[in-house]
Chains A and B, each alone.
Chain A
């Protein structure tokens, strides 16, 4: 009998936990900060830009920033999207305290604006990164493209490596492309 009671209680507690979890995910739907598509679990498809970034050790600061700005869903969208992804060193080059400041919840919009200045609709790679042209970023700003020898600079940031993603392309860059506005 006692075992039965314990079992029943355990089941009920479990059921309620399940219920609460559902409640919590339901709760998310009414908030303005969804992870949206970023919460889709899919280990089989080719990795999208967000998944690539998460897997890349050198982009851990960027990933933390994207999460703080709550714009993960943008990086998993159908795209196509070109992301100029600053490596961890690039964030370290910011004046001391800048990054910590940006990661504060009250600066979410500012951070999101800076990050969207690194993403452009369309797939810009290879010959489409033409010297002397500009790229219209998701922030609404135009960022210049320069070629010096074999090196390509976008908004002054040098492309270190390029990786194709299922929904676009990621260029690892050595600098933060700071917006002109703000």
Chain B
């Protein structure tokens, strides 16, 4: 019996072995589940991803940093929304960053990140991103991965066709989606047509500091301006904007803005605009907008209010703008790496329309016009048409490019990415997305030099793709390998907020710049203290300023007495560490704000208004060291009329 058992077991093991191997083979043919897909996205523990992906958070208002191909989330960079984790908008230093002409705004809707370029190639200096709702453009440093600057855009509403850079980052461009009365005034909505206008803003970028300044705005007819991209190479000096609602409807746009067979792609000659500015052909319009600048020297932001903007009227300045008819409410407006082709994705159209820059110039030269819109010449459709991609899918939205002459377009309704060839316009591959893809991103896919290895599809709907999490399900992106003839789905990965759009870049263009910590000796924060000897507590009437330091593993001072109910207590905390990855945090019971998270060499401030007498503890909120739990202190709060003297100490001294 024992023998037989052994035999059976042996036979069983052999057959199991065979069986498993055949099972395994079945699996290896299994498309996205095949082992090669897993290998392609696997980044071993401790190893680095090959690319950064900066994915906007849509209605989260932030920008998240992921690694490709792993899809691992590294950091959420707070931009337009407060972030308690990093004290963004909570500490005294960053509150000015969220100031607008409408006051302090704790949230926005961030859409289109774009990486700075030099000679049409990604240079890894900055990422720009737009706020849709209260129109602003932010600049994020890729040294610190922090938001350094936010500029508000006047005469704009629904800042959607933004924030795309020209090929030497001469400008970051912001176009309004909604047309509005310019300047704003009280008037009947029904008088929209002909009276509402749109402003397209060209924001100059200082090449050394990155500082932004609105150079001029181009005043346009009251259409909706949806997306935009710069010319590059031969078309450098031009900027292209898609438009819809050329019907100028002000209600039920779902129907009323879909009446015209064609809307336009507006081509703006910004070099011509510069000539007009030089020649003084602009109007200086009163405007009110904020310009907020954060400094890594003072570790603080300053908000300044600007009072005017220079405006060029497209209707009155010949040669500044031309309109290229494009079928059915074009959404995406994408320019290929050579700068020759401008792809308009009519979101209701059954085909993709591709315009030729060369043909556009010829049509302009020959005045091959089909009338005008408010004095702006409309070029004949056939005169600029390079080709159409016929019946590629349903609901085209956006196109990006690889380095082999192919374009990739997303289709919302048919939920797929379609690969087609520039020049022949033939569809060569299509892959489903799960589900209803919006934007796609190829690192460098909107520059002269795309890196055609990965494609990230950003979906609007996930439904059953992940474990359920109640009515609000996971937001998600998908990674495709596009290095071969056929695209291959490699990975689904969750994102923070709506993954609206992204910018990707090879990691080596960024890693060498990344800062490790701030030098204490360079800290120019007005309330910084650079040693424990300098720490102090100063009373100014009902205001108390605590000049505090942190170092492993204590606060100095850590015992403070003489604070009274009704005082406004400022904790100015300097992190004395000069070591990579040793931030300290601080929070005190009852403070109506967030913690601070202070990087080495940095100073941050929070305000506490104690309401009850007692002895109240504070502690380090970032696990900093082996004695992190010992990093704590007390503040004694006395009644208003008490005569406890102001004092502070560390270890009794």
Contact = CB atoms under 8 A, between A and B. Distances in A.
A180 interface: no
Contacts of A122: 254-255, 258
Nearest to A81: B413
B302 to A, nearest CB: 44
Interface in B413-453: 413-416, 429-432, 434-436
Contacts of B395: 77, 121
Contact of A73 (B5, B258, B414, B460): B414
Contact of B29 (A15, A27, A32, A113): A27
A116 B412 CA distance: 15
Nearest to B24: A19
Contacts of A77: 395, 412-415, 435-436
Given A16-B23, A122-B254, A40 B463 contact: yes
A161 interface: no
Interface stretch (B30-38, B241-249, B573-581, B634-642): B30-38
A116 B461 contact: no
A16 to B, nearest CB: 5
B8 A1 contact: yes
Given A1-B8, A5-B12, A22-B33, A138 B464 contact: no
Contact of B19 (A16, A30, A73, A140): A16
A83 to B, nearest CB: 12
A80 B479 CA distance: 27
Interface string B453-464: 000000011011
Given A8-B12, A77-B412, A26 B34 contact: yes
A124 B391 CA distance: 23
A98 to B, nearest CB: 21
B489 interface: yes
A27 B394 contact: no
Given A16-B23, A122-B254, A32 B430 contact: yes
Contact of A116 (B351, B394, B460): B394
Contacts of B430: 32
A36 B415 contact: yes
A121 to B, nearest CB: 5
B461 A30 contact: no
A123 interface: yes
B258 A136 contact: yes
Given A5-B8, A121-B348, A122-B254, A22 B27 contact: yes
B434 A36 contact: yes
Given A36-B435, A77-B412, A122-B255, A20 B348 contact: no
Contacts of B8: 1-2, 5
Contacts, number: 117
B38 to A, nearest CB: 11
B363 to A, nearest CB: 24
B516 to A, nearest CB: 42
B29 A37 contact: no
Interface in A1-42: 1-2, 5, 8-9, 12, 15-16, 19-20, 22-24, 26-32, 34, 36-37, 40-42
Interface residues of B, number: 45
Contacts of B317: none
A58 to B, nearest CB: 25
Contact of A30 (B255, B348, B489): B489
A60 interface: no
Q: Which 9 A-B pairs have the closest CB atoms?
A: A140-B350, A26-B30, A26-B33, A30-B31, A23-B30, A34-B432, A29-B31, A26-B31, A29-B32
Given A27-B30, A32-B430, A116-B394, A136 B328 contact: yes
B349 interface: yes
A23 B254 CA distance: 42
A78 B460 contact: yes
Tell me which of B30, B255, B488 has the highest count of chain A C-beta atoms within 10 A of its own C-beta.
B30
B16 interface: yes
Nearest to B461: A78
A40 B464 contact: yes
A42 to B, nearest CB: 7
22 contacts: A1-B5, A8-B12, A9-B12, A12-B16, A19-B27, A22-B33, A26-B32, A26-B34, A29-B432, A30-B32, A34-B432, A36-B415, A36-B432, A36-B435, A37-B461, A74-B413, A80-B254, A113-B391, A123-B254, A136-B328, A138-B394, A138-B413
A140 B351 contact: yes
A30 B5 CA distance: 45
A163 to B, nearest CB: 20
A28 B255 CA distance: 37
Contacts of B31: 26-31
Interface in A34-78: 34, 36-37, 40-42, 71, 73-74, 77-78
B54 to A, nearest CB: 26
A139 interface: yes
B26 interface: yes
Interface in B1-37: 5, 8-9, 12, 16, 19, 22-23, 26-27, 29-34
Contacts of B464: 40-42
B474 to A, nearest CB: 14
A78 B394 CA distance: 13
Interface string A99-116: 000000000010001001
A11 to B, nearest CB: 11
A53 B26 CA distance: 35
Interface in B318-372: 328, 348-351
Given A121-B258, A139-B350, 15 more contacts: A1-B5, A15-B23, A19-B26, A26-B33, A28-B31, A29-B33, A29-B432, A30-B32, A32-B431, A41-B464, A74-B414, A77-B413, A77-B414, A77-B435, A136-B348
Interface string B482-502: 000000110000000000000
Contacts of B391: 109, 113, 140
A23 B22 CA distance: 12
Nearest to A138: B394
B394 A37 contact: no
Interface string B588-619: 00000000000000000000000000000000
Contacts of A81: 413
A12 B23 CA distance: 10
Contacts of B414: 71, 73-74, 77
A24 B328 contact: no
Contacts of A113: 391
Contact of A37 (B258, B429, B435): B435
